[in-house]
Structure 1
């Protein structure tokens, strides 16, 4: 029996996938638990429309991500840090500080959990950070640590 999965099911497939399973498994478990619906012609048509809408949204989101990546690579983001007389930073620069600097200087809100700093930042200078936008979209950006 063919069913359309409504939710991700372990060892079977992800949401909006068309899978073939045994009749008993579909009728006794997947459909009553609302994990799947039967693959009727009307349900298949709805799935097709849903996938088209999802593809359009993903294309728009990818265009927006590419725009953000372009802006981030234009110039280095400046991050302020308190320093001693020798140029060493008190503490270190964190992803939260980078996220705030991007928001203030570039106008984009990026979750700090998506930012990972390549090297440990303990002195003034230029460093690199990696930003993961999801779906395999990862970019590297430069940021400059300046004294406050």
Structure 2
């Protein structure tokens, strides 16, 4: 049997948030629904689907050409993120994708969705790192992130 679901989050190899998909009962019951990645589809849920699609259109970069322009602006650039550092040079906490997206907006003037920033391994120490930014289904950019120690304030 197949179960009809509405994806509430992007699920790799399945679909994007707001899409209606059919999956096997066990996958829905044991994985997607308990983790909050999907909700059961009902005829009245179409309004929810429409709202999610409208929100996605607002966030998403409109066209492939726009995505390429943003990629060209990001490629080869370095953004700086600062954080509190301990004696060993390790950060108190990790650098989040939201902080990277905020740094891109502040330093480069480009708006990117924090959910599209892919950090391969947690950034927990001072140094330079490369993160992947998925701008469009066909366009992504490599962005250099420099992590520095925050200035101590007295």
TM value normalised by structure 2: 0.54
Following superposition of structure 1 onto structure 2, how do residues 1-148 of structure 1 map, counting pairs within 5 Å? 61-148=63-150
Tell me by how many angstroms 1:95 deviates. Answer: 0.2
Q: Deviations over 1:36-74 (max 9, x none)?
A: xxxxxxxxxxxxxxxxxxxxxxxx822222221111123
* Alignment gaps of 5+ in structure 1: 1-7, 12-59
Structure 1 residues 84 and 64, CA, compared in 2 at 3 Å: closer, same or farther?
same
Tell me by how many angstroms 1:10 deviates. Answer: 7.4
Residue 124 of structure 2: SS of its match in structure 1? coil
Give distance in 2, aligned partners of 1:126 and 1:137.
23
Q: Could you say what the CA RMSD is over the residues aligned between the two structures, in angstroms? A: 2.1
Structure 1 residues 126 and 147, CA, compared in 2 at 3 Å: closer, same or farther?
same
Tell me by how many angstroms 1:9 deviates. Answer: 9.0
Tell me by how many angstroms 1:135 deviates. Answer: 2.3
Residue 100 of structure 1: SS of its match in structure 2? helix
Q: Deviations over 1:95-144 (max 9, x none)?
A: 01000000100111111111110122111001111111222212221111
Residue correspondences, number: 93
Give distance in 2, aligned partners of 1:82 and 1:10.
44
* Alignment gaps of 5+ in structure 2: 1-18, 23-61
Tell me by how many angstroms 1:75 deviates. Answer: 2.1
Say which structure is richer in helix.
Answer: 1
Give distance in 1, aligned partners of 2:21 and 2:95.
40
Determine if contact 2:76/2:143 at 8 Å carries over to the other structure: no
Give distance in 2, aligned partners of 1:93 and 1:134.
23
